[in-house]
Amino acid sequence: MKWTARRIQHLKGKQPFATVTVTDAVSARLADEAGIPLLLVGDSLGMTVLGLDSTVEVTMEHMLHHTRACARGTQHALLVADLPFLSYQISEEEALRNAGRFLQEAGADAVKLEGGEQRAPLIRRMVENGIPVLGHIGLTPQSVKTLGYRVQGKDEGAAEQLHKDAEALQAAGCFGLVIEACPANLAREITLNLDIPVIGIGAGSECDAQILVFHDLLGLSPEPRPKFVKVYAELGETVRSALQEYANEVAERQYPASEHLYDS
Ligand code: KIV
């Protein structure tokens, strides 16, 4: 059965669940086959697959292109697309149109956008117009040039603000929210305080769900990786040594062997 935003919302308070970023039809198909209920076409693809320095350089065209590919690989999961930098900040009209393109043209089921209570009116308008929205608070990578990649919510005032942000996003109609890089006890309090699922990344084990970047958890991104990343498979190493073996076998005329030849 296909996952919907409503079904994801109902996972609150039940079993903790995993979510993951995807970038193309292959990663989406593998994650979907693994039974992961929510796949995020994260704008981190700017770094993981496009070789850019930050998500600030990622465009609508990049995100639409990759979302279409992911949609082709997804059968059951809810496919959420990240709204890229400046696609939702300029005006509500532009934001609504851009968000709608992901549903109408690219096969996404929902969008994600970064920011706290200042985004609430925009999110309300999107939700009222039929666009499910996943919020994203804490460390917001699109603000790297002003905030840096720093753990958020460490002092009392900042923690209070994160509580307000989370409540405002829930009230605006988000079906869930991502909280990135904040102390575990704060993420736990926010999770307990909300009725929608809180998806943590670098936010401890007591959120309703976790998200990791596909290329990080499979050892495909370059080191150093953030402290919260667990590498579940060293695929980078596996791929590198397979390619070296292939190159050596070609150089030594061991490949192709007789079983790889067509009969005359
Ligand atoms: O783009 C991304 O990968 C994300 C996750 C870190 C949540 O937004």
Residue 106, C-beta contacts closer than 8 angstroms, at least 6 positions apart: 63, 64, 67, 68, 71, 81
Residue 17 token pair: 């669940």
Task: With cut-offs at 50, 70 and 90, classify the pLDDT of residue 89.
Answer: very high
Question: Residue of the nearest CA to atom 4 in ligand 1?
Answer: 42
Check residue 8 and give its pLDDT. 98
Asked if the model's pLDDT at residue 239 lies above 90, the reply is yes
Percent of the chain whose predicted confidence (pLDDT) is above 70: 100
Residue 60 exposed, middle or buried by CB count within 10 Å (0-12, 13-18, 19+): middle
Per-residue DSSP letters for 207-227? SSEEEE-HHHHTT-SPSS--T
Residue 137 CB burial class (10 angstroms; 0-12, 13-18, ≥19): buried
Averaged pLDDT for residues 150-169: 96
Around Cβ 128, how many Cβ atoms within 10 Å? 10
Report if residue 250 sits inside a domain: no
Nearest-CA residue for ligand 1 atom 8 is: 42
Give the residue numbers spanning the domain of 79. Answer: 5-233
CA distances from 192 to 13, 48, 165, 172, 219 (A): 9, 33, 15, 18, 32
223 CA to centre of ligand 1 in angstroms: 17
Can you give the pLDDT at residue 264? Answer: 86
Give the chain's mean pLDDT. 97
Identify whether 256 is part of a domain. no
Angle between helices 120-128 and 92-104 in degrees, nearest 10: 40
Percentage of the chain beyond pLDDT 90 is 99
How many domains in the chain? 1
Q: List the structure tokens of 22.
A: 């995807």
Q: Compute, in angstroms, the gap from residue 189 CA to the centroid of ligand 1.
A: 22
Question: Does 257 reside within a domain?
Answer: no
pLDDT at 21 exceeding the cut of 90: yes
| pLDDT for 120 | 98
179 pLDDT more than 90: yes
Residue found under tokens 């979907």: 32
- Residue 242: inside a domain, yes or no? no
Residue 188 in domain: yes
String of DSSP letters for 88-124: SSS-HHHHHHHHHHHHHTS--SEEEEEBSGGGHHHHH
Residue 191 within a domain: yes
Nearest residue by C-alpha to atom 5 in ligand 1:
42
Q: Is 104 part of a structural domain of the chain?
A: yes
pLDDT score of 114: 98
75: confidence class by pLDDT, cuts 50, 70, 90: very high
Domain CATH number, residue 82: 3.20.20.60
pLDDT at 46 over 90: yes
Q: Which of 180, 206, 237, 259 is catalytic?
A: 180
Ligand 1 neighbour 83 (Cβ under 6 A): no
Predicted structure pTM score: 0.97
Query: Are the C-beta atoms of 208 and 13 separated by less than 8 Å?
Result: yes
Whether residue 114 lies in the annotated active site: no
Q: Would residue 261 count as lying in a domain?
A: no
Q: Mean of the pLDDT values across residues 145-168?
A: 95
Q: Which amino acid appears at position 50 of this protein?
A: L
The string of pLDDT tens digits covering residues 203-233 is 999 999 999 999 999 999 999 999 999 999 9
